[in-house]
Copies of this chain bind each other. A is one copy, B any other.
Amino acid sequence: MDERSKKYIIDQKSDFQSDLGIINQEDLANAKIGQTLTTHLGKKFKVIKPSVNDFIELMDRRCSILIQKDIGTIISKCGIGSGSRIVDAGTGAGAIALNFGNIVGECGKVYSYEIREDFAEVAKSNIEKFGLDNIIEIKNKDIKEGIEENEIDLVFLDLMKPYEIFEDVYSCLNTGGYLAVYAPYIDQIETSYKIAKKIGFIDLSIIETLEREIEVRNQGTRPKTRMVGHSGYLMFGRKI
- Chain B residues within an 8 Å CB radius of A174: 33-34, 49
A53, closest chain B residue (CB): B79
Residue in B closest to A220 when the chains form the complex, CB atoms: B185
Contact B49 A177, beta carbon cutoff 8 Å: yes
Complex: chain B residue closest to A107, CB-CB: B105
Known contacts being A214-B206, A220-B185, is A175 close to B230, with CB within 8 Å?
Answer: no
Residues 154 to 212 of chain A near chain B (Cβ within 8 Å): 174-178, 184-190, 193-194, 202, 205-212
Interface bin, chain A: 35 or more
Contact B47 A175 (CB under 8 A): yes
- Residue pairs across A and B with Cβ atoms less than 8 A apart, 21 shown, are A5-B240, A46-B175, A51-B79, A54-B79, A72-B76, A72-B77, A73-B73, A76-B99, A81-B103, A103-B103, A106-B107, A185-B221, A185-B222, A206-B215, A208-B211, A209-B209, A210-B211, A212-B230, A223-B229, A223-B230, A227-B229
A-side residues, CB < 8 A to B, are: 1, 5, 33-34, 46-54, 68-69, 71-83, 99, 102-108, 153, 174-178, 184-190, 193-194, 202, 205-217, 219-231, 233, 240
